Structure formats: structure tokens, C-alpha cells
Amino acid sequence: MMMMMVRMMMMMVVLIIFMMTIMMMMMMMMMMMMMMMMVNDDDDDDDDDDDDDDDDR
């Protein structure tokens, strides 16, 4: 019985670590996407295009 419990605990720990690593990867991807979006927004060309669309010039 103890071995079974220990085995279950080990599996749970491995799953938790795996989930944490996936969450970290997702967070990193989101951060990269946000950074890319910010950089694109800061570009002059993109800002001009956006202004044209907004102002209907």
C-alpha cells in the first residue's frame, strides 16, 4: 500500500512540474507576443497606417 501511495505521489509531482513548465512556456510566449506588438505599434509606418484608418484621410 505504501509503495502505491509513493508511486501516486511521484506521478502527481511529475505532472505538477510538467504543468508548471508548460505554463511558464505559455507565459514566455505571451510576453514575446506583447513585446512584438509594442514594437510594431511604436513603428512610424504602422502608426501612420493606423492614423490613416482612424482619421479617414
Alpha-carbon span 29 to 41, nearest angstrom: 18
- For the chain, report the end-to-end CA distance as a whole number of angstroms: 76
Specify the DSSP class assigned to residue 35: H
Assigned C-alpha cell, 29: 510566449
Per-residue pLDDT, 9: 94
Tell me what pLDDT residue 38 has: 84
- What residues have CB less than 8 Å from 46, skipping those under 6 apart? 40
Continuous segment of H or E residues that includes residue 55: helix 44-55
Tens digit of pLDDT per residue, the chain (57 long)?
788 889 999 999 999 999 999 999 999 999 999 998 887 655 555 555 555 566 665
Q: Give the predicted TM-score (pTM) of the model.
A: 0.47
Give the per-residue pLDDT at 23: 96
